[in-house]
């Protein structure tokens, strides 16, 4: 009877854009999977939240820019400028893309000062909370080209964490294999583990 049930969010709307080069597409998807995690929050059989995060590691940032370059046919100098911007930002913050779908829009307040949600980056050094949360908007085909686990009813956010603890220790110590993005509220808790390598 439960064979028809799925723990994956339903796919709605057009398929996310893909590269014509199948090998390049497969390589991007593999890197996306490495740095991404997904989880759902349920209340019985009712869905509270679908969520997915992607750590904007330097390898992923570079792959994302090269994907953008392939889609937009960018000239090499523009690609190099974008890569330089991404490298500079990667040195300043630990950034995640967060995609979410909630059934009740009242709970879509992730970027509000008094949000019901608490976000934290949990590592072997401890945990830190975001220094910046920015709403990117509804998931359209452009967003889904880079984060295909989102769907048309999802909303994207940029979530930035510090790179050092208050003690001066790195938030992600050298050699750390996995880190956890925790999203928690009275509705439930989602912990998404991603590669830190």
What per-residue confidence (pLDDT) applies to 13? Answer: 61
CA 134 to chain centre: 13
- 105: DSSP letter: G
Instruction: Give the model's pLDDT for residue 2.
Output: 43
Per-residue model confidence as pLDDT tens digits over 120-154: 999 999 999 999 999 999 999 999 999 999 988 89
Task: Show the low-confidence residues of the chain (pLDDT under 50).
Answer: 1-8
Spans of all domains in the chain: 20-195
Residue 104, pLDDT score: 81
The pTM assigned to this predicted structure is 0.88
Report DSSP letters for 134-185, one per residue.
Answer: EEEEE--HHHHHH-TT--TT-EEEEEEE-SB-TTS-BSS-TT--EEEEEEEE
Helices (H), the chain: 22-34, 58-72, 76-92, 141-146
Question: pLDDT value at position 181?
Answer: 97
Region of residue 83 (left: phi > 0; alpha: psi -120 to 50; beta: else): alpha
């Amino acid at each position: 009877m439960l064979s028809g049930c799925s723990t994956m969010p339903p796919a709605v709307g057009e398929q996310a854009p893909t590269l014509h080069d199948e090998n390049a597409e497969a390589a991007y998807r593999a890197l996306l999977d490495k740095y991404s995690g997904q989880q759902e929050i349920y209340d019985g059989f009712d869905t509270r939240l679908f969520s997915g995060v992607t750590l904007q590691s330097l390898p992923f940032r570079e792959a994302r820019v090269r994907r953008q370059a392939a889609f937009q046919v960018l000239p090499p100098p523009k690609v190099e400028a974008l890569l330089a911007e991404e490298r500079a930002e990667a040195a300043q913050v630990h950034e995640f893309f967060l995609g979410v779908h909630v059934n009740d829009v009242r709970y879509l307040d992730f970027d509000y000062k008094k949000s019901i949600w608490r976000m934290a980056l949990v590592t072997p050094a401890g945990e830190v909370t975001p220094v910046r949360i920015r709403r990117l908007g509804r998931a359209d085909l452009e967003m889904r080209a880079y984060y295909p686990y989102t769907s048309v009813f999802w909303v994207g956010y940029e979530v930035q964490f510090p790179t050092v603890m208050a003690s001066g220790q790195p938030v992600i110590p050298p050699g750390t294999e996995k880190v956890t993005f925790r999203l928690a509220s009275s509705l439930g808790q989602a912990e998404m583990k991603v590669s830190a390598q």
